[in-house]
Amino acid sequence: MSARGAFMAQTDLFTPISFGRIEAANRVIMAPLTRNRAQDPDGVPNDLMVDYYRQRAGAGVIITEATQISPEGKGYAWTPGIHSDAQVAGWKKITDAVHEAGGKIVLQLWHVGRISHVSLQPDGQKPVAPSAIAAEVQTFDGTQMVDVSEPRALEREEIPRVIADYRKAAENAKAAGFDGVEVHAANGYLLDQFLRDGSNTRDDDYGGSIENRTRLLFDVLDAVTDVWGPHLVGLRLSPFSNANGISDSDPMPLFRHVVEGLAPYDLAFLHMVEGQTGGSRDLEGDNSIADLRKLFRGAYIANNGYDREKGIEAVASGAADAVAYGRPFIANPDLPERLKQDAPLNDPDPATFYGGGAEGYTDYPTLNAEKAA
């Protein structure tokens, strides 16, 4: 049976699946969710985060919140990193807790590029980007929402350093006990900025043609898969989203080239934001997630606006091998069991999504707790 046929042989959202060498108990994936709880000034994961991830170990795979690969990669206050020994130790507590609870967890590797503010950057420097083009969006500086700062263009000789940062972060993720990593190339952050002609106007070998604009992504995948080996690295893309002010004049040929270029990497999975990030799933014109999905021969994780019915249908039809849920996992730590039983879901409180303490983070009840009450 072909690899594709093997994935389609099991058609239940609640059955096990192998994401490469990552064995998952079900196909309900916890999407990466920025929660801004790493309030240590150095971005060290804390004990509250240990409880949060442990509670959600019933996911087939937990994909962590986006985690900066370097101080330069930071774009929001109170987000964790994976570039220091203390951060590695903090994440190790989390992976140990998830594994003790029977779960699997991969780390999302993140560099925000231009989606940052000078107050969040080392020595107050400008954020970096493919080109010196500011995004007309805001970020959180720890006190309030502020306009992102104008970036500076990365010099050609700096790009190997950025790739080395991804490699070191991948090594640190392995030391922290993760089951794999996901490269974040979606939602208008650095790798997505290099992909798109609206943010990348370079005239060197990292700009201009589709082949050049995709070069950094493939360089990063070379580095990360060299650390982890095949079948333990995932990739997140958002081909038709304009999140964080990103744009491209013709995204379909661009992302066709990207997906076709993934074959040599033997990725664990491709994780795709379908439609607008956190918004409409409807796509205009010829933009087609389905066409891109057909080009990828491994496990495909669908994301964006899925409920129980849509998730079951996507897996049963073969449109997806697994489904990533975001906001439902915030308020329902036992989401896979609730979906399996078709039980009512807790409603999330948006006021507690970002920052704060245990309220709206680790205090949502499970089904068992509700029955015992």
* Positions marked catalytic: 189
HEC string for the chain? CCHHHHHHHCCCCCCCEEECCEEECCCEEECCCCCCCCCCCCCCCCHHHHHHHHHCCCCCCEEEEEEECCHHHCCCCCCCECCCHHHHHHHHHHHHHHHHCCCCEEEEEECCCCCCCHHHCHHHCCCEECCCCCCCCEEECCCCEEECCCCEECCHHHHHHHHHHHHHHHHHHHHCCCCEEEEECCCCCHHHHHHCCCCCCCCCCCCCCHHHHCHHHHHHHHHHHHHHCCCCEEEEECCCCCHHHCCCCCHHHHHHHHHHCCHHHCCCEEEEECCCCCCCCCCCCCCCHHHHHHHCCCCEEEECCCCHHHHHHHHHHCCCCEEEECHHHHHCCCHHHHHHHCCCCCCCCHHHCCCCCCCCCCCCCCHHHHHHC
CA proximity to 346, closest of 324, 321, 329: 329
Calpha distance 288→43 (Å, rounded): 38
Could you identify the residue written with the tokens 């943010």?
A: 199
Could you tell me which residues come within 8 angstroms of residue 240 by beta carbon, excluding any fewer than 6 positions away? 251, 275, 276, 283, 287, 289
Are the C-beta atoms of 191 and 162 separated by less than 8 Å? no
Calpha distance 227→88 (Å, rounded): 16
Write out the two tokens for 242.
Answer: 């304009």
Calpha distance 194→123 (Å, rounded): 24
